[in-house]
Chain A
């Protein structure tokens, strides 16, 4: 049994999805969609972007599976692809440097009156490059080398950014007390 078969995607499912079979694609979505959506949401910070990221990942999955080597875990490969797409979207969003009328729609209301409000606000206020490292390292559990690979930076730069992100978070949280 291959690693893929033990990680949420049977070989048969993956082979079928590779041909564009909607049933297989739906089955993979049901297994991995929620996890990937959460990752995309944490990286992009908005429900609309997270939705678009997961949409694009699954629409492009059959073709991308042609390059999947089936040596590592399928779930982990899929998460890395999703992280890449989310980071590309962050980059495009930064390039656009504008918020359209629809994009300003608060699709997820902030958790008012919650003890986590301050932390959520502090994380949201981080610049995208720092938040990306924080999410990938501290929440998703990637190593600095893996974070570096995903972001196109060195492992050392990843450490520096995490340190900056943590310092900013601490300062924001302490200032808010």
Chain B
């Protein structure tokens, strides 16, 4: 078998089971997407015939005109710019390989002062959407973050989950994680945290592709400062406990996956800073908010935090270049502060 044959047989995952439900939910919620127009082969041939006919007529007309009245003017320069490369879809910068620069040092003092009693149980549902040049482009579905009080090893903890896809237990007093479990389609990641170190297990795959990893690492920062688990809802709990005010700033370490520490550092500081206040309206209502900048190395997001409730009301990440601006937003759509069942 040649590698060209192997290419066609490269394994590809199956779509997740919940995708159909997500599609139908988006439709039911009124989301609409404008798809690009694709002409059929017949349609294309017809257009080509029309184009050829028009070209012949124009050419004939030009021939007659130039014969009757030749023009002394000649255009200088090369062919039109759009025909040079023939790839309007991809800017040439695509070919550049950009190395991501990361600053692994916290920008501000590590957060040590929090108000853990301000953290509350509840369910927060967000609607994510993609916006291009200020125009709604597509819905990115809904995500629900749930938090309930529970007990783990005799300690009061917050049991948190995002759309049921992962679970993180956070110590209610210190807001440091104790256990994080993330089941995936064929893999399972478990992280357990002690006072100053963590252990991680990663299992999955079927033979011969089975992968088993176990690793440990010392936790960064002082034992009293909170920590976040990357790609989890733990930041939502921390934000409720922060004494946000004009000019407030602080950094917190986010724990990534040890199994991928060759690609992403095991710990990355998130730098948080209040940049102002704002009154915003989202589907869940109108809120007076602190505008919190969250910086992860060179990347930046904005988070609007309700002044009186501590809820994250909206998150936004914006990027732009000379051809436009793109942003993804998650807006609070519904809140249920009835404590969910443990």
Closest CB-CB distance, B251 to chain A, in whole Å?
15
Q: Which residues of A sit under 8 angstroms from B3, Cβ to Cβ?
A: 119, 169, 173
Q: Which residues of B sit under 8 angstroms from A111, Cβ to Cβ?
A: 11, 205, 209
Complex CA gap A51/B324 in Å reads 25
Question: Are A84 and B94 neighbours in the complex by a CB distance under 8 Å?
Answer: no
Most buried by B among A95, A99, A134: A95
**A side interface size, CB within 8 A:** 78
Question: Are A119 and B10 neighbours in the complex by a CB distance under 8 Å?
Answer: yes
Complex CA gap A130/B298 in Å reads 28
Complex CA gap A107/B100 in Å reads 20
How does the 8 Å CB contact mask read for A88-118 relative to B, with 1 for contact and 0 for none? 1011101111111110111111011110100
Given contacts A59-B139, A109-B205, contact A95 B321 (CB under 8 A): yes
Which residue of the partner chain B has the closest CB to A100? B317
- Point out the residue from B19, B34, B38 that lies within 8 Å of A55, measured CB to CB: B19
Q: Which residues of B sit under 8 angstroms from A129, Cβ to Cβ?
A: 87, 89-90, 94-95
Residue B35, interface by CB 8 Å: yes
Residue B68, interface by CB 8 Å: no
Complex CA gap A29/B17 in Å reads 12
Residue B37, interface by CB 8 Å: yes
Given contacts A37-B15, A54-B19, A55-B19, contact A153 B87 (CB under 8 A): yes
Q: Which residues of A sit under 8 angstroms from B7, Cβ to Cβ?
A: 119, 123, 134, 138-139, 169
Question: Are A56 and B89 neighbours in the complex by a CB distance under 8 Å?
Answer: no
Closest CB-CB distance, B40 to chain A, in whole Å?
4
Q: Which residues of B sit under 8 angstroms from A127, Cβ to Cβ?
A: 94-95, 97
Given contacts A52-B140, A59-B139, A119-B7, contact A38 B24 (CB under 8 A): no
Closest CB-CB distance, A12 to chain B, in whole Å?
19
Q: Which residues of B sit under 8 angstroms from A22, Cβ to Cβ?
A: 24, 27-28
Which residues 20-34 of A have a CB within 8 angstroms of B?
A: 20, 22, 25-26, 29-30, 33-34
- Chain A binding surface, main DSSP class: helix
Question: Are B299 and A37 neighbours in the complex by a CB distance under 8 Å?
Answer: no
Complex CA gap A153/B138 in Å reads 26
Question: Are A56 and B321 neighbours in the complex by a CB distance under 8 Å?
Answer: no
Question: Are B88 and A101 neighbours in the complex by a CB distance under 8 Å?
Answer: no
Closest CB-CB distance, A123 to chain B, in whole Å?
7
Q: Which residues of B sit under 8 angstroms from A113, Cβ to Cβ?
A: 208-211
Residue B70, interface by CB 8 Å: no
Question: Are B42 and A94 neighbours in the complex by a CB distance under 8 Å?
Answer: no
Residue B323, interface by CB 8 Å: yes
Q: Which residues of A sit under 8 angstroms from B257, Cβ to Cβ?
A: 106
Given contacts A59-B23, A111-B205, contact A84 B36 (CB under 8 A): yes
Complex CA gap A64/B205 in Å reads 38
Q: Which residues of A sit under 8 angstroms from B231, Cβ to Cβ?
A: 101-102, 105
Residue A75, interface by CB 8 Å: no
- Point out the residue from A34, A60, A90, A116 that lies within 8 Å of B11, measured CB to CB: A116
Question: Are A128 and B90 neighbours in the complex by a CB distance under 8 Å?
Answer: yes
How does the 8 Å CB contact mask read for A68-100 relative to B, with 1 for contact and 0 for none? 010110000100110011011011101111111
Complex CA gap A111/B11 in Å reads 9
Question: Are B44 and A109 neighbours in the complex by a CB distance under 8 Å?
Answer: no
Q: Which residues of A sit under 8 angstroms from B90, Cβ to Cβ?
A: 90-91, 94, 128-129, 151
- Which B residues lie at the A interface, using CB under 8 A? 3-4, 6-16, 19-20, 22-24, 26-28, 31-38, 40-44, 86-91, 93-95, 97-98, 100, 132, 138-141, 184-187, 202, 204-205, 208-211, 230-231, 254, 257, 260, 264, 296, 298-299, 301, 317, 319, 321, 323-324, 326, 328
- Extra contacts besides A63-B33, A153-B87 (8): CB < 8 Å: A30-B20, A54-B19, A95-B321, A98-B299, A100-B301, A116-B10, A119-B3, A173-B3
Can you list 21 contacts pairing A with B, beta carbon distance less than 8 Å? A25-B23, A25-B24, A29-B20, A33-B20, A37-B14, A41-B13, A47-B13, A51-B16, A55-B22, A63-B32, A77-B38, A84-B35, A92-B132, A94-B94, A95-B323, A98-B299, A112-B205, A112-B209, A113-B209, A139-B8, A152-B88
